[in-house]
Structures are given as structure tokens and as C-alpha cells.
A and B are shown apart, each in its own frame.
Chain A
């Protein structure tokens, strides 16, 4: 793994036995962020084995956790190398680490630093974290960097579906597929805080529905569409699956965010995934129906 660092005790500068000890994951990006924040200082960095996963995700899985920390403290024999008995952990490691248990087992007191390593100099200077340093943010920039990951993850299935639909229905269906997927993996992450409603799924239905509007208009009055029920069926054959696909991708984005709760996501799955499936199936049936019965629909 390219981003894996050997776990153990690292010296930053020339630490004396009185130096501070910081704890992080063996993911190189986590380690580098810490190292950069502490540039110019002499300190120890204790790197835990998290299989190259960042602190927050590893804490959620438990690999950045009490057991690993206690074992690592013993294996590097930290107690004999430093005189202090305080460890500074990233705040986001707290979902995996129990500070009291660590202290009971090792004598080391766990202190939770700020969420972001970049805030460490201020934290060390002030001796405590200001409330904003304790909060996870999910800024436009944070969301923007996730877009390529989302795109790569869906590109192949999306293209495959688009090609199949092109073959079944025509070029409009091809573009409708890519538009719905694009709305889910590009527009949705970017627009997340500005979409009304709280739930990811309903935000997604809304966004997918909006993106489907040009296709609905084309279905209702575009070239090659029939009149009456054929036009309506064509419009719905775009609208229903597009809204469903975008909503499904929106719901799947939850795991990439620091704002979704497990019970909330579970509730959304039960409440909306069946609806999404019905909408997508109804749309595809309409698409096929229009093609078989209507003949000329594009």
C-alpha cells in the first residue's frame, strides 16, 4: 500500500524525554498533516497500525482504538523514553479510544487535541481547543475533492447503462442516464447544504427531478414524440428513473460525509429505497412500452 507507514515511535527533530507525544494513524496523509503542523518542534509521534486508514475512519472501525494504543505504548516502551504521562490524540480518534481505559492500563493520560492538525499550534499555545477547533466542517472544498472519487466509482456502470439505454431507446435516454448520474455524483456533493430538506434521499429526488426537466419537456413536445398518453409516458419514462437514480446516488454519498448518522441512514434506506426501485422500474417499463407500442419515440 502506497500510503502505509510503519507503525511505531517517530522522533520529530531532537526530542528530549520531556517532549510532547502525539498519536496518529499510519496513513501517510494523516502523518504528514501532523508533521507539517508541528514543523520546527521537537516531539514524539506515536503511529498506530490502522492499515493505512485515516484517523476518523479507523476510529469508526475500531482499529484506531484503545487496544491498539495500549499495545503500541507497550511495544515501543514509551514509559521508559519520556518523563511526561500525557498523550495528545486527534479529537476524531475519540470514537475509537476510551481515555479512561488507556490511563488505567498504561498510566498515560489521553488529551484530545483539535479536529484538524493545522490547528495544533494554536491549541498548544492556548492550552485548549476553541469550540470551532472541535467541530467537523464539510466545506465546499472538502466536498469538491470527493467528486472525482464519486465519478470514478460510478463511471463504468453509468456508461454501460447509458449505452444499453441508447440501444433500447435512443440518444435522449443515453444523455438522460449520464445527466442523472452526473447530478448524483457531481452536482449533489457540491450543492449539498443548499438543497432544501434534511434527508439525503429527498434532496436527491429534488435534484434529479430538476435535472430531468429538460428531458420531460423534450418528451412532451420534442421531435418524434407522439401525442396524448405517448408524450406523457415518454416524459415520465425520463422523470421517474432520473429522480430515482440521483436520489440513490445521493443516499450513497452519506458514507463520504461527516454529517450522516447510522440510524438516520437506516431510516432513509427503509423509507426511500423501495420507492426508488419502483420509480426506476416504472420508468423503464414506460420506456419499453412507448418503444413497442408508440413506435417512433426517441
Chain B
């Protein structure tokens, strides 16, 4: 297994074996979690690495746009109000309910 857990603080997992080096994750990540290790010898692509794993907010943009499935993250919105509301009412956890974020 080459999958690594990016940080103790979140659910981001990255598998460098599956990575094709397209750099899509670098483009979509709003917190600069991914970076490059420079070019892979004898190849056009550069090797992607997790450089700021703790900063991941689990928005899921990297996983959704990774063409090879090298990234996995349990994505969702980090909103305590939504989670507590859902826990208290048993309703689905989402934004935009009860006047919140609508």
C-alpha cells in the first residue's frame, strides 16, 4: 500500500502510486495542501506530494477532480451549527435550513 494519511486532523488520503501527475489537485485546493517534488526523472510529469496536510478542510475538490482516484477524503461542510441541528432534530445535515446560510 502506498496510500498515506495526510494528517491526523482530517480524513485526506493520497496514493502516490495512482497519481498521474496532472496537477489538478494543485489547481483546485483552496489551502495549498498539495505541492510538487519537482520532475520525476525521465518523465514529463512532476511528482505530487502532500505538503500542508493539516490545512485540509475536506471540501472534496481534489478527490472529485482527480482523474485517477489517487485521492480520497470524506468530504463535507465543517459547520457545527448544521451538525448540532441535525443531531437534535434527526434531520439531514445540510446548509440552508432554518434560516441558516440561505
Query: Do A and B truly interact?
Result: yes
CB pair B96 A254 closer than 8 Å: no
Chain B minimum-CB-distance residue to A255 = B79
Chain A residues, Cβ within 8 Å of B60: 95
CB pair A260 B30 closer than 8 Å: no
Q: Number of contacting residues on B, CB 8 A?
A: 38
Chain B 21-78 interface residues, beta-carbon cutoff 8 Å to A: 24, 26-32, 56-61, 64-65, 67, 74-78
Chain A residues, Cβ within 8 Å of B100: 255
CB pair A251 B61 closer than 8 Å: no
Chain A residues, Cβ within 8 Å of B9: 261, 263-264
CB pair A94 B58 closer than 8 Å: no
- In the assembled complex, the CB of A121 is this many whole angstroms from the nearest CB of chain B, namely 19
Chain A 64-112 interface residues, beta-carbon cutoff 8 Å to B: 91-92, 94-100, 112
Q: Which of A129, A259, A261, A269 is packed against the most chain B CB atoms within 10 Å?
A: A261
The residue from B80, B87, B101 contacting A252, defined by CB atoms under 8 A apart = B80
Chain A 181-225 interface residues, beta-carbon cutoff 8 Å to B: 200
Interface of A is mostly: helix
The residue from A98, A100, A135, A264 contacting B10, defined by CB atoms under 8 A apart = A264
Chain B minimum-CB-distance residue to A253 = B80
**Residue B84, interface by CB 8 Å:** yes
Chain B 72-94 interface residues, beta-carbon cutoff 8 Å to A: 74-84, 87, 94
**Residue A141, interface by CB 8 Å:** no
29 contacts between A and B (CB under 8 A): A59-B59, A61-B95, A94-B27, A94-B28, A95-B59, A97-B64, A99-B24, A100-B67, A129-B27, A135-B31, A136-B31, A251-B80, A252-B84, A254-B79, A254-B80, A255-B82, A255-B95, A255-B100, A255-B101, A258-B30, A259-B57, A260-B80, A262-B58, A263-B58, A264-B78, A265-B79, A265-B80, A269-B84, A273-B84
Chain A residues within 8 Å of B, Cβ to Cβ: 51, 53, 57, 59-61, 91-92, 94-100, 112, 115, 129, 131, 134-136, 200, 251-252, 254-255, 257-266, 268-269, 273
